[in-house]
Chain A
Amino acid sequence: MSGPLSSVGAVAASELFSSYEPGVAYDEMFDASGMPRPHCHELMQELLATSAPELLQYQAEADRSFLTQGITFTVYGDDQGTERIFPYDLLPRIITASEWRGVERGLKQRLTAINLFLKDVYHEGRILSAGVVPRDLIRSCRHFRREMQGVAVHRDIYVAVAGTDLVRLQDGRFVVLEDNLRVPSGVSYMLANREVMKRVLPGLFDRYEVAPIAHYGQALLATLRALAPTRTDPSIVVLTPGVGNSAYFEHAFLAREMGVPLVEGRDLLVHDNIVYMRTTSGLRRVDVVYRRVDDDFLDPLAFRADSQLGVAGLLNAYRAGNVSVANAIGTGIADDKALYAYVPAIIRYYLGEEPIIDNVETFLCSDPAARQHVIENLDQLVVKAVGESGGYGMLIGPHSTAAEREQFRVKILADPRNFIAQPTLSLSQSPCFINDRIEPRHVDLRPYVLYGDDITIVPGGLTRVALRKGSLVVNSSQGGGSKDTWVLQD
């Protein structure tokens, strides 16, 4: 393939694109012949009329805005508790209306099936008896919560908020890489990116008809209200582990967007199976807890006794039906990376439909044949620990050293249930402003799916960018950044 721009004289002359290498991945902006895709013409025009110094200035404005707003995350493993801004890329990632419709239908289908699955697993277990999902897989899952067995969950909504990770393959198809069904984060960056985009590049934004996303806070509030057990005017809180948590900014942001209190475990208490918060005018009852605290830390009486982040007695209040917790306790079994491989079968089982969005091919190391294949092809595959997230505990075969592969071989053989492997995907690439040039970088997409009275998805999501050249890891903890995501309206 020749350079993507060689066919457009004016473009080739542009300094900005002089180091744009096409690569083998799907390019979000240019087609295989190097021409801008139709929906990117306007963006191209705008970029050709802009100089590198101007873009640098816009970048500085955007960075400053994030810093003064305090839109930062805390880096773990750094004693200083350093707050960093999440790197923001100026250029939008654009998704057409028709592409989005497919994504939206697929996500709704998936979340519907996953909720049916969770209800089934914690009650009759029909899908296990039918042999569609192996019983062993559930029992051996670190995130399975025995305490939830037989517990009635209000309206059977286990996962009220999901942040599904999608990637686009070489043929342009979106596939699901991970279902994040516990406490998915990043939605505040989606909203903040849009705010900054509209301030920094209003002219470019105005050239497009972009679906708005600012109503996310209201949509989340409506979802949480729908979960309230009984009372007509439910009191809702956001539960955060506290200011030291890496996503603290987001917790405060969402509480502010919804106009509800942001509480820590020490603000709550349980008496006679009713949850209260301690206010200046005495104790006030709480009906719905949007918790951003992991299961393990939620209730020291039920789970980890050493946790100071949770509320003693919360599980009992929950089981008594006096409070709703979103997401429900124990949803982690459905986003176990080994269970992931069964989601297509789960969709077929409960809905009798073919999955609209495919999975990535996945090898479960617990299966002897698959394990053999994984061990023999470690240099080709991506290996992931099933219970990890945030890009930790991963081996990316093609970018690994022999020593790292050997380490993983030993780990896999010692605990096969704990590992899965997937082919190394070439994630789609999107133009990014790097130093003073526009270069392609790999991206994914995390839309946020809300399940209350019905399933709502604000159009778009968080596009994460692997800012290091050639890197496939988009996690903020691993040198990732993000960019604004535009879903176009018809």
Chain B
Amino acid sequence: MLLSRVADNLYWISRYLERAEHAARVIDVRLDLGLDRHGPVGGWDFARIYSALRMTVPETPPSNPAALVDSTVFDLANPESVASYVTAARYNARQVREEISSEMWEELNSLFLRLKQAQVDGVWSARPHYVLKLVIEGVHLFQGITDATMEHGEGWQYLQVGRFLERASATAAFLDLYFRDGSMAADGGGHKDHREWVGLLRSCAALEAYCRCYTADLRRERIAEFMLLNAEFPRSVRFAAARIEASLRGITQLTGRGVGGRADRVAGRLHATLDYGQVDEILSDDPEHYVEGIIRYCSQIHSALYQSYMAYPIESALPA
């Protein structure tokens, strides 16, 4: 038995943490790559970071990395900053303290406190790597603690759905960006493309796994295949879709709802599309359209989840 509101909170804890982790990694990777660029000393262009994070570029864009970090990592007035995501995750966790284990709460709370302390210390904006690493590690630790200390029941399944739904749509959106701006348009093989592709894989924590699979020979269709269709890599869209489908099925069983509800069907279709997808077809056809389709599926699953379990009409649930 799980309160609808609690399911909602659990779902958003992991969505926000997934966002925080993704944003932290993207910022870390972009700042690192930026140091290797060809261009004027100190001439940073942050537009790509903002679009990679699906953030709106501020009216007065930051002029140096420290200012960027202040606004995208620490600034609580920016609802899309890493600190805001962590704060939102903690806020949701605070409302379900009786549902999650104390260990989970303490880790999330201490991540929040460490991040706050890092901001107070004030020395990290100019050298942000350690703070971003702290966030990524904190999220990993939270996930490990969750798996180790919480019963893998209905509540746990909502944490899974939130995390993998966020991951699937963020990865798809990230690829979309590369398809749209042409850096995945064709095998260029130039230095610039190579750096961009390394950036893409590192931003999804996928570079090492990719190299083990295909060697360090970076190719456009291999990258697309790895990020979209790989069945074993936990950050590929297909992997995420499989987990979403499995968790939704678990929820269906645990709540005694009939199988084949809308959320189940959409998730099954998304998973099947990826299971039987062919990378050459995707790339030759219309890759942008393909990844945008994935994002659409994700938002349909989100609404169906709400309609079935969280915001269902009362009339439908009253005893006859």
Contacts and interface: CB of A to CB of B under 8 A. Distances in A.
A281 B257 contact: yes
B251 A280 contact: yes
B255 A280 contact: yes
A252 B98 contact: yes
Nearest to A248: B94
Interface string B309-320: 110001001110
Interface in A241-279: 242-243, 248-249, 252-253, 255-256, 260-264, 266-267, 269, 271, 277-279
B102 interface: yes
Contacts of B97: 70, 249, 252-253, 255-256, 262
Contact of B105 (A70, A242, A243, A281): A70
Nearest to A70: B109
**Chain A: interface residue count, which band?**
20 to 34
Given A256-B98, A262-B98, A280 B4 contact: yes
Contact of A261 (B3, B309, B318): B3
A282 interface: yes
B5 A267 contact: yes
**Chain B: interface residue count, which band?**
20 to 34
A279 B1 contact: yes
B113 A255 contact: no
A480 B98 CA distance: 27
A232 interface: no
B273 interface: no
Contacts of B2: 279-281
Contacts of B6: 261
B256 interface: yes
Given A68-B109, A279-B1, A279-B2, A243 B154 contact: no
B130 interface: no
Nearest to B311: A278
A61 to B, nearest CB: 15
A12 B2 CA distance: 60
A277 B2 CA distance: 10
Contacts of A242: 95
Prevailing SS type, chain B contact patch: helix
Contact of A266 (B5, B257, B309): B5
B290 interface: no
Scoring B2, B4, B318 by chain A CB atoms within 10 A of each residue's CB, the highest score goes to B4
Given A280-B255, A280-B309, A281-B255, A68 B110 contact: yes
Contacts of B7: 280
Interface string B93-109: 01111100010011001
B91 interface: yes
Contacts of A260: 98
Contact of B3 (A70, A249, A267): A267
A279 B105 contact: no
Nearest to A260: B98
A70 B257 contact: no
Scoring B3, B6, B105, B257 by chain A CB atoms within 10 A of each residue's CB, the highest score goes to B3
A39 interface: no
A480 B247 CA distance: 47
B113 A67 contact: yes
B98 A69 contact: no
Interface string B218-259: 000000000000000000000000000000000100111100
Contacts of B257: 281
Given A70-B94, A261-B98, A271-B318, A281 B3 contact: no
Contacts of A253: 97
A24 interface: no
Interface string A66-83: 011110000000000000
Contact of A279 (B3, B91, B94, B102): B3
Contact of B317 (A67, A263, A282): A282
A284 interface: yes
Nearest to A258: B98
Contacts of B251: 280
A279 B106 CA distance: 26
A195 to B, nearest CB: 11
A283 B317 contact: yes
Nearest to B8: A280
Nearest to A281: B255
A116 to B, nearest CB: 34
Interface in A89-142: none
A342 to B, nearest CB: 39
Contacts of B91: 243
A151 to B, nearest CB: 25
Contacts of B317: 278, 282-283
A4 to B, nearest CB: 40
A243 B3 contact: no
Contacts of A256: 97-98, 102
Nearest to B7: A280
Contacts of B105: 69-70
Contacts of A284: 1
A69 B6 CA distance: 20
21 contacts: A68-B106, A69-B109, A70-B105, A70-B109, A242-B95, A253-B97, A261-B6, A261-B98, A262-B96, A266-B5, A267-B5, A269-B314, A277-B3, A278-B4, A279-B4, A280-B3, A280-B4, A280-B255, A281-B254, A281-B255, A283-B318
Interface of A: 67-70, 242-243, 248-249, 252-253, 255-256, 260-264, 266-267, 269, 271, 277-284
Given A68-B113, A70-B94, A262-B97, 9 more contacts: A70-B109, A248-B94, A252-B94, A261-B98, A262-B96, A280-B3, A280-B154, A281-B2, A281-B254
